[in-house]
Structures are given as structure tokens and as C-alpha cells.
Structure 1
């Protein structure tokens, strides 16, 4: 039997020394590695341990967030000093204190040789990682019906039980709206749905279409609290099943959940359309068709509320590798200005527009607390790797909202009648 080569013998540079050489201000955290090296202050509360050669190979073959994510999700890069369900404190510390410098080409070659060129052979990625974009064509062209269904299944069909642990009783996986400082996550999610209903001007007997309905939170709230008839549509079979059971348990009449693509809805004449957290999956190039489709579902005077994550500018920007591979495959964000433009170009009149990014940071903090509280159950349900992905994703997203790297916008629009009538109050009545 052939023994696997010991690649540590190829290394002439210790890992701790290599990393320290790239830090102009010194290593701010404590690092230990499988080669016995250590660096950084011994009393630092944030400690990283590189456990094996595979982890080093992940870091060397995919520098940046993807390599670190692979090593962390696989358990090859261990984080100490923060709970894996909420690594926010450690990530905040690293973000505020970590300063890399880019090595010169000759220095980079020396570092690679010193650590061992054999580590440049990429290991297989963790099973939680989705295919890179160039390989997703096996599922169809980007944002085709088949490919959209595949990527939605990747993210949303993880486990309803897992989502119950993370999201809480509301089963709402979108930004909450905190009415006051002391509001709980559940209170804030109810306030969000109430705000959407009020912006849409819902009244008893009206018809609502909720595209990307998730576990039916908006549908159930609107039917229960505002007396409307509502259709919710989701591409996730797990979400649709859960939502139908919740509707039956509440005994709600006039609430329907469809497991289908929103493009399959043929009915029109709706009084209101809500799109809460779906636009991120549509693709910017598809906005004209998307908003035109939603416009055509409305009656004259009907309202659209679009609620989605946005960027602080309207310039094109690629999605980060970690988010694209592990969280939202094919997801795409743009600025709120582009959203407003596309809504208006589709023939709708924008009447109100607001940014709720601080609310999303609070929402993510609440989800992380839930994951920490149910960590052992969550790991038993989906596995340690997937649980780590979620803690990392939610904590990093919280930081991004806090630092104004991403935002959350609600855009309210109306389909005017032939004479320009909007059936809209002189002042927004939901503001009191």
C-alpha cells in the first residue's frame, strides 16, 4: 500500500511566518497551525487554527472570501472566541483590525514555494458549495425556469425544521421592521407585514398576489388581518407545503399557495401585488419583463410594493464568490435607482421609496441569536458544515448592512388609469 506523501516536508516556510509577512501592522489575532507555528498576540480573544494541509490548499487556491469559506465550512480553519452560529464579534474585530498588503510578484513566488507548490492543487470543495456560474448551464441558461428552480431549491429547501429554528415562529426570511428599540423579532416581522399591507392600501374583499411568497407569511397576515383574498407563489416545494399546512391550521379562508414560478400566474385585475425578497433572484437584465409582468397583473389603481436588497450605488458590481456559491446562486443586486427606473419604465408610477437597511442588520442579529440558541438541534438537522455556512453568511450580511455596503429598499408604485388617476391619498396614510 502506497503511503500518502507528507507535504509538510516540502515546506520551507512556516505558516505563521508567511502570514505575518503579509501584515504591515502585524498580526492582530492569534494564529496557530498544524505545522506547529504560531503568531499574533497570545491574549487576543479572536483565535484561528489552521488544522491541516487541505485547509492551506483551500486558502492558497482561492485567495479571499471563497478560500476562507471553504476551509471554515470544511472544519479545516477553526475559529475560537466566537460562537459558530454568530461569528459577528470575531468578524467585526477582524474587519476593523486586519490589514493585508499585496506582495510583489517575486515575493509571492517565494511564499508559494516556501509553503509548498503542491498546495496549489485545489481540493474538492465542501458539499455545501454550489457549482460555479460557468458550470450551471447544465441547469439551463441563467434565470430560465429550470435553472431558477434549481438554485431556489439549493437555498430554500434546506429543511423547514432548520428554518423554524433560525427564523422563529413567523417563518419570515426577509427584513423585519422594528417599530421601537425594544421590539422583538416576532413583533418586528408582524410590523413589516402590517407596513406592507398599509402601503398597499389593502381593504376587505380585495385581491392580493404575493410573488416569492416563502412560507406564506404575507399571505396569512393579509388574509387574517385585512380580510383580503390572496394567492402566494413560490418555487420551493418545501415552503409551499409548510405554508399550506399553516393556512389550514389557522383555518384561513381565501388564502392560496401555489408551488410554481411567478411567471405561471395567468390571472389579472389584482388590487395589489407584493414582491418581498424576490427581485434579488430575478436578474437585472430581466427587470423590464419582471415589472411589466407585475404591472399586467394589476387593475388600474392597483399598487405594487417591491421590497428587496439593493446596493448603495447603481454601478454594476459582481456578487461575492462566497454568497454566489454558498448562499444565493445566480443572485444579483443593484441600486434602488435602477429599481425605480425599471418600475417607471414598465409604466408604473412610483409614489414612495424608503431605505430600511438598519432594520435588516437587526433582523440578522435576531436570526443569529436563534441559531446560537438552537445550535445543537440545527447541526443535528442539517449538519455542521451547513450550520457554519448560515452563521457565517448571516453575520457577514449584518456587517454589510451596518457598513452601508448593501441596503434594503421598499418601492411603492401604482398602475394609473387612462386619465392618470392613481386612487392614492394626498399624503401617505400609513405614516399616521
Structure 2
């Protein structure tokens, strides 16, 4: 980084020229300048030139995320484990206008910075998509395994603090306004089991089983022989220990395995809870076709996944989510999911949206992160803990604003005569 000359404009003044209307927060910069109301409840502090370079050299939300994760941008007035209030205020009230190209040059000269060389990103950041080709084609087995490990092998201890005793990292189902997170997660598993009509002696395949919550529930509560598979070694080890602790070895098993390598078939039910987001839209036909081939005639599929609120937008996530949270993750509208399921010759029986439940789930996870902040920082470092607070609070806001949703799609495999075995009315 070189200096063209002594700055002729402050960072605070530069920001003020780009804001439409009033700045809803207080902004303070390392050059001593400020903008916005002095008595604002939320205060943003830009602590270093590196932070400014992050903001100026990265697209969309990535620059702010980099500066925040690295500690160069601080949020005062909210806890880093739950910056929801700050995000809601900024998204709801902050209006920035795009500067003209000549204005960009003027501002940069006024700030005294050039050339704008991007700083190295924080260590928590994953490679950009174009550089991941060295790991294999998108959604190849090797690349999928690396992406899953980036997100899920953070630390079982960390996840235990954030997720709670259930170790369930998917949307809960709240039976009422007073239910706790643990009650809501148990309600979710019970609902999935009832939608699948699980009965003693049946066989369940749970794809992307996480820490084994559905496998354990199916075996313990319904006497089902349940097999779960996950690409996370840490998850598989945790689940195996839980199975042994509960004495369910005869009914439950979790393998560290890509679902595409499962050789068994003839399952009475398949549950896919939070995996479709990692599959890739182009791979839906192969994915649901693979599931159909693993079901016996009359068998059921319950697909639980985050979806877009429409079926027309881009499936890829923004740069922050893609590089810090879900590498290669893709979201499609629920209509796209239903179409893919039906095109795989599975009969859709029921379709349900749990959007508001996921907003509540994320709020509960943020509360857990705040409560256990010191332990989480000690376990994974402050940068990673900041990533999770930012990601979960931002996701909560997206669910509340109906930018993303969460859908269950229940389907059956019919036999050669079109018989599905599904009752005249739902029984769940």
C-alpha cells in the first residue's frame, strides 16, 4: 500500500457522501473522523487501514465480513455472538448510493490510498469458487467432502455449546410459543418420523445424518433399524459414541461415508434433513433418482431443506456464505425441489413450509453462543466465533423477511401398478 498524498477527505466524510438520508448508526474511523448520530445505540468502529482496504476491495457483503471477522471492524451495542439488532437496523435503514466512476477516483484520491491491494483474507475464509477446481469438479466426492469438513468439523465441543444437548444443526419445529429449543428439536424428529410412518422393524436411511439425531430418535422411539451416513468424521465419531451410550448398537449405525457409496437398498424410508443444500441443483435428478432406487415400493422420502422464496433467482449463495459457511452450497425454490422429486418418479404427497420456525431456531442458537461465548472463543478462536454469530444472525433476518424458507417435501415410491400404500388422508 502506498500513499498518494496526505488525505484531503476523512473516512467519515467519504461515507457521508454515499449515504442516502440519515445514517442510522454511529460510525467512527481510525483517522479520528465520524459520521452519524453521536447518541446512536449501535456504533461501528473502523479500526485500521487494513479494514478500509477490506471494505474497498471485496464485493458485496464480503468486504465487511472480512473486516469484522479480522477484528478491523467492531460493532458496539450488540454482542458479537448475536449481532442481529445491528444487522436488522443496517438492512432496514441504511441506504447507500452507488458512486459514479469519476467519483470513486475522487474519493480514493481524497482518502490518500492507492493502489488498492486487497489484504490477505482472514484464515477462516475458504477459497473462492474458481480456485476450488484443484479439489475436483463441483460436487465431486472429493470436493464435497472437503466442503463439508470446512463447515462441520469445526469442533464438536463448539457445536455442543451452540446447538445444545440435541446436537441438531437443522430447523426445529416449535409446537407453541413457549417451547424450548430442545423441545422443538424433539418435535421436529417426531414429526419426520410420523410423516415417514416409521414402525418397529422397518429400515430407515438418513442421508447427511449429522450427529445422528434422527437415527437415534428412529431407533429409540420407533424400534427402527436406522442407518445414517455423513461426510464429517467428527460427526460420525460423536454419533457412534451416542449410539453406544444409549445401547442402540443393534438398531442404529452411523457411517463416515458419501451417500453415493451406500450399497444397501429396499429401505422403508429415507430422510434427507439438511443435505439437499449441498447437492447442487444440477444434481437433483441424480440425487432423487438415487433415493428412489433405494426405496422399496410403498417406501417414503422426507426431504427437509432450506429453499429460496422463488424459483427464478440464482441458486448460489452470496460471497460471505460461500466462503465462510457453506462452500458450494446452492438453494432452489421449493417448486424446483418438488419438480425434481416428481421427475424422479416419486409421488409427492405433502409439502410444508417452516420458515418462521427456522428464524426462531437461529435466535435460540445465537442465544446459546452468547451464553457460552468465552468457552466458544477458547475452543475455536474469536474470528470463527464471530463468523458464526454473523452468519446465524444474518440468516435469522433472511428467514424473517421471507428471503429464504425451509420446506418439507413428503413423497412415496409407487409400485408398477401405481400403488403407493399412502392412506386416504394424512396421519401425522
TM over 0.5: yes
Number of residue pairs matched? 426
Deviation at 1:12, TM superposition (A): 2.0
Aligned with 1:418: secondary structure?
A: coil
Alignment of 1:268 onto 2:254: no
Partner residue in 1 for 2:193: 197
Structure 1 residues 341-392: Cα deviation after superposition (integer angstroms, max 9, x where no partner): 0000001000000000000000000000000000000000000000000000
Partner residue in 2 for 1:229: 225
Cα pair 1:53 1:119 within 8 Å, conserved: no
Partner residue in 1 for 2:347: 349
Partner residue in 2 for 1:30: 26
Partner residue in 1 for 2:304: 307
Residue in structure 2 matching 1:390, options 379, 388, 401: 388
Structure 1 residues 317-350: Cα deviation after superposition (integer angstroms, max 9, x where no partner): 1310000000000000000000000000001000
Partner residue in 1 for 2:205: 209
Residue in structure 2 matching 1:60, options 45, 56, 59: 56
- Summarize the alignment of residues 326-365 of structure 1 with structure 2, pairs less than 5 Å apart: 326-365=324-363
Partner residue in 2 for 1:181: 177
Aligned with 1:429: secondary structure?
A: coil
Deviation at 1:116, TM superposition (A): 2.9
Partner residue in 2 for 1:291: 288
Cα pair 1:8 1:35 within 8 Å, conserved: no
Partner residue in 1 for 2:152: 156
Aligned with 2:24: secondary structure?
A: coil
- Structure 1 residues 236-245 or 249-258, which shifts more? 249-258
Supply the distance in 1 between the matched residues of 2:81 and 2:36 (Cα, whole angstroms): 25
Cα pair 1:27 1:39 within 8 Å, conserved: yes
Residue in structure 2 matching 1:113, options 109, 115, 125: 109
Supply the distance in 1 between the matched residues of 2:167 and 2:366 (Cα, whole angstroms): 14
Deviation at 1:26, TM superposition (A): 2.5
Cα pair 1:57 1:119 within 8 Å, conserved: no
User: What RMSD, in angstroms, separates the aligned Cα atoms of the two structures?
Assistant: 1.1
Cα pair 1:271 1:299 within 8 Å, conserved: yes
Partner residue in 2 for 1:50: 46
Partner residue in 2 for 1:242: 238
Partner residue in 2 for 1:281: 278
- Summarize the alignment of residues 7-26 of structure 1 with structure 2, pairs less than 5 Å apart: 7=3, 10-26=6-22
Aligned with 1:120: secondary structure?
A: coil
- Gaps (5+ residues) in structure 2? none
Deviation at 1:11, TM superposition (A): 2.4
Partner residue in 1 for 2:255: 258
- Summarize the alignment of residues 109-148 of structure 1 with structure 2, pairs less than 5 Å apart: 109-118=105-114, 120-148=116-144
Supply the distance in 1 between the matched residues of 2:253 and 2:12 (Cα, whole angstroms): 58
Deviation at 1:316, TM superposition (A): 3.6
Partner residue in 2 for 1:97: 93
Structure 1 residues 208-257: Cα deviation after superposition (integer angstroms, max 9, x where no partner): 00000000000000100011000000000000000000111111131000
Supply the distance in 1 between the matched residues of 2:226 and 2:237 (Cα, whole angstroms): 16
Residue in structure 2 matching 1:169, options 161, 165, 168: 165
Supply the distance in 2 between the matched residues of 1:149 and 1:119 (Cα, whole angstroms): 38
TM-score, scaled relative to structure 1: 0.97
Cα pair 1:60 1:119 within 8 Å, conserved: no
Distance 1:154 1:193, change over 3 A: same
Partner residue in 2 for 1:375: 373
Aligned with 2:114: secondary structure?
A: helix
Cα pair 1:272 1:302 within 8 Å, conserved: yes
Supply the distance in 1 between the matched residues of 2:4 and 2:186 (Cα, whole angstroms): 56
Structure 1 residues 159-215: Cα deviation after superposition (integer angstroms, max 9, x where no partner): 000000000000000000000110000000000000000000100000000000000
Cα pair 2:80 2:386 within 8 Å, conserved: yes
Supply the distance in 1 between the matched residues of 2:310 and 2:81 (Cα, whole angstroms): 31
Deviation at 1:68, TM superposition (A): 0.0
Partner residue in 2 for 1:74: 70
